[in-house]
Amino acid sequence: PHFVVEFPLSKLTVCFNINGEPGHVLRLVSDHKYSGVTVNGKLIGASAPPGSHKQQRTYFSTITIVADHPKRSYIEVTPTKVILDGRDRIVLPCHSSVTVDSGMLSVAIVQNSNVTVTVGGNISFIILLHQYKNPAPYQRNHLGFYIGNSKGLSRNCHGLLGQFLSEEVGLAELPAEAGTKPSQVLKVKNRSVPVVRKSRRIYSGTQHVDCWFARNNAAKLIDGEYEDYVTSHMFDTGDGP
């Protein structure tokens, strides 16, 4: 999947790719100890790479959200259904619009379009449903995960996306060596990450965003390595590395 991180205070947008392996579960947001929210995403692979020179792509097949308050609830979103598991279980199909609201937790499906999960009024996630009518071999029905409102998440929030929610970054230019152009580096958490300018399409391709791209599975940009964010199961709520 492609990751995009917006730093509103720095007015910078950074992007990176983490391909991972089909079957991996990536921790996207981890704030279990404080707000009680954890978001994980499971990867699937396409049946064929898009071209001979490219590697196989992976996509999110399932996004799981665990919310601890007021009581522990498990939400599992796939391109076709949403399973809401708390004290009891509700299975909601994605082909019709459904809203389930229990005060502190609400799940709203807009038919075949997106699922909004709101926790406690100030945390919300939007999961886009990408469904292909006639998929090519390298395309799979998959999900896109967007953070709608992160005000309720703590400063200690972690995960591949969560760790950047309260961060400031800066951009610096490295002087050019002979015969080369000057290169850009991103200053984040006292680390310098070489980046290049790229453009990404988001929101199902309806919008473009210009971002600073960090190569090599976001090496140095994220704390640790991406493998540290691979969790053991879909509802794992262990703290970040």
| Residues engaged in binding other proteins (CB under 8 A) | 1-6, 8, 13, 26, 28, 41, 57, 59-60, 87-93, 95-103, 110-111, 113-114, 116, 126, 128, 130, 139, 142-148, 150, 160-161, 164-165, 202, 209
Least separation in angstroms between residue 51's CB and other proteins is 13
Rounded to 10 degrees, the C-alpha dihedral 101/106/108/114 comes to -170
For 58-80, b/e burial (b = at least 16 CB within 10 A) is: bbbbbbbbbbbeeeebbbbbbbe
Tokens representing residue 75 in the block: 């939400």
Structure tokens at 53: 């020179």
Q: Tell me which residue of 50, 54, 58, 46 sits closest to 20, measured CA to CA.
A: 58
Choose between 71 and 176: whose C-beta lies nearer to other proteins: 71
Q: Tell me how far, at minimum, the Cβ of 219 lies from other proteins, in Å.
A: 17
CA distances from 33 to 124, 137, 158 (A): 18, 41, 11
The CB-of-177 to other proteins minimum distance in angstroms stands at 33
Least distance in Å: CB of 5 to other proteins? Answer: 5
226: which strand partners? none
Nearer Cβ to other proteins (95/191): 95
Other Cβ atoms less than 10 A from the Cβ of 224: the count is 11
Other C-beta atoms within 10 Å of 44: how many? 17
Closest to other proteins by CB, 60 vs 213, is 60
Query: 132 or 176: whose CB is closer to other proteins?
Result: 132
Residues 130 and 112 sit within 8 Å (Cβ to Cβ): no
Closest contact distance (angstroms) between CB of 27 and other proteins is 11
Task: Please state the closest distance from residue 196 (CB atom) to other proteins, in A.
Answer: 18
Whichever of 146 and 183 has its CB closer to other proteins, that residue is: 146
| 209 vs 219, beta carbon nearer other proteins | 209
Count CB-CB contacts under 10 A for residue 162: 23
